[in-house]
Amino acid sequence: MRATGSDDIRVDSAFVPAYRVFPFTPEITYGPRFQGPLYRFSFIGIVTAALTPVMLGIARVAVDEAAELARGKTATGSSSALWMNPSVQSQIAQAEATLRAARALLFQTLDDVWQWVVSEQEVTTEQRADLLLAATNASESSVRVVERMHTLAGTSGIYSGNPIERCFRDIQVARQHRFYTEGRYETFGRMYFGLEPDYGMVIL
C-alpha cells in the first residue's frame, strides 16, 4: 500500500525466547501484569480498532478529493463545472451518508465494548459478533464509496499521480484481508442465531 508506506520484511534464523511468545489460541492465560482493559478487549476488538479506521480514512480522502476535483473540472462536452451536475451532487451526498453511517456504527460499537471491559467485564459472544459486523460493514462501505468516487473522477482518476487512483488501489489491497471478506456477514449471521462461528479469529 503506497499511501501507508506498507511493505514486507523477512527475518531468517532469528531466535525468539519463550517469554516473548504466546500461544495464539482461546485458551491463552495472561499474567498478572496483563489484566487491564486492553488485554480483555479481545483479539477481534484490537483488529477492528487497528485496521478498520484505515479503510474509513481511505474512503474519507476519496470523497474529499472527488469533491475538490468536481469543483474545478469541466467534463468533455459540457460548459459547466462537474459539481453543478445533479448526478454528481447526489453521488457525493450518498457517499457522505454511507461513510458517516459506517463510521458511526464502528465507533459506537468500539466504545460500547470498551466501556464494558473497563467495568471489569469480559467481552461476550454477542459483543464479538457486533464488532465483526461493524468492521465488515465499515469495510464494505469504504470499498463502495471509493469505487464510486473513482468512477465519478473519470479519466482523471486513472493516473498514478492522482490521489483518487491511490485510494482506489489501496482500498482494493485492504479489502483482501481475510477479516474483511463478505463471508464475515455469514459469520455474524451464524452467531446471531446461536451457531458456532465459522471464523476462528472471532473467539480469540
Q: Is the pLDDT of residue 40 over 90?
A: no
What is the number of other CB atoms lying within 10 angstroms of the CB of residue 50?
9
Residues 6+ away with beta carbon under 8 Å from 72: 81
pLDDT higher than 80, residue 6: no
Residue 17 inside a domain? The answer is no
Is 186 a domain residue?
yes
**For residue range 170-200, what is the model confidence (pLDDT) as tens digits?**
999 999 888 887 789 999 999 999 999 998 8
Within a domain: 114: yes
* Least confident span in 1-15, 29-43, 80-94: 1-15
Cell numbers 471464523 correspond to what residue?
199
One-letter amino acid at 143 equals: V
Domain assignment of residue 18, yes or no: no
List the domain range (segments joined by +) for residue 128.
42-203
Torsion of CA 60, 97, 191, 198, to 10 degrees: -40
In a domain? residue 32: no
4, part of any domain: no
Joined grid coordinates for residue 165: 487512483
Residue 77 lies in a domain: yes
The whole-number pLDDT of residue 135 equals: 96
For 87-120, the pLDDT digits (tens) are 999 999 999 999 999 999 999 999 999 999 999 8
Number of domains in the chain: 1
Enumerate the β-bridge partners of residue 74: 81
Report residue 128 as a C-alpha cell. 464479538
CATH number for position 152: 1.20.140.10
* Residue 108, in any domain of the structure: yes
